[in-house]
């Protein structure tokens, strides 16, 4: 897979996606970070500019932190971020990677 999609990064950060660990490039948009683990995201029907909302997620920045709704094409995932709910398009695109991912240590 080409790395052309990604902003430069010097490390991976661990996201917890519905209880599974996804190690993704730091300093990239969350939707790109998900694509790193789940290439099917590149086939999704995303606008990538904040209009379609197909990339909507709910997340906590850390365990016990407030839960927010955000667009994965507009925010960057950070170490320890927990994605608790995914829009159907995202869920569909990450399903295979999610099934193969290791359960996160909680």
User: What residue ranges bind ligand FES (CB under 6 A)?
Assistant: 46-48, 50-55, 71, 73
Q: At closest approach, how far in Å is the CB of 79 from ligand FES?
A: 22
Based on CB atoms, which residue is closest to ligand FES, 49 or 63? 49
SS in 3 state form for 21-84?
EEEEECCCEHHHHHHHHCHHHHHCCCCCCCCCCCCEEEEECCCCCCEEEEECCCCECCCCCEEE
Which DSSP state fits 8?
Answer: P
Q: Measured between alpha carbons, how far is 53 from 103 in angstroms, rounded to an integer?
A: 27
Number of residue whose CB is nearest ligand FES: 73
Q: At closest approach, how far in Å is the CB of 35 from ligand FES?
A: 11
Based on CB atoms, which residue is closest to ligand FES, 46 or 59? 46
Q: At closest approach, how far in Å is the CB of 41 from ligand FES?
A: 10
Based on CB atoms, which residue is closest to ligand FES, 37 or 73? 73
Q: At closest approach, how far in Å is the CB of 34 from ligand FES?
A: 11
Based on CB atoms, which residue is closest to ligand FES, 46 or 98? 46
Tokens coding 82: 């927990």
Nearest CA to 94 among 18, 1, 4?
A: 18
């Amino acid at each position: 897979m080409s790395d052309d999609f990604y902003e430069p990064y010097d490390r991976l950060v661990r996201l917890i996606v519905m209880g599974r660990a996804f190690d993704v490039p730091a300093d990239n948009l969350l939707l790109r970070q998900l694509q790193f683990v789940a290439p099917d995201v590149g086939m999704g029907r995303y606008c990538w500019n904040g209009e379609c909302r197909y990339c909507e997620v709910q997340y906590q920045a850390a365990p016990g932190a407030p839960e927010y709704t955000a667009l994965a094409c507009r925010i960057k995932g950070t170490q320890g971020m927990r994605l608790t709910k995914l829009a159907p398009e995202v869920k569909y695109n990450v399903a295979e990677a999610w099934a193969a991912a290791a359960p996160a240590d909680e």
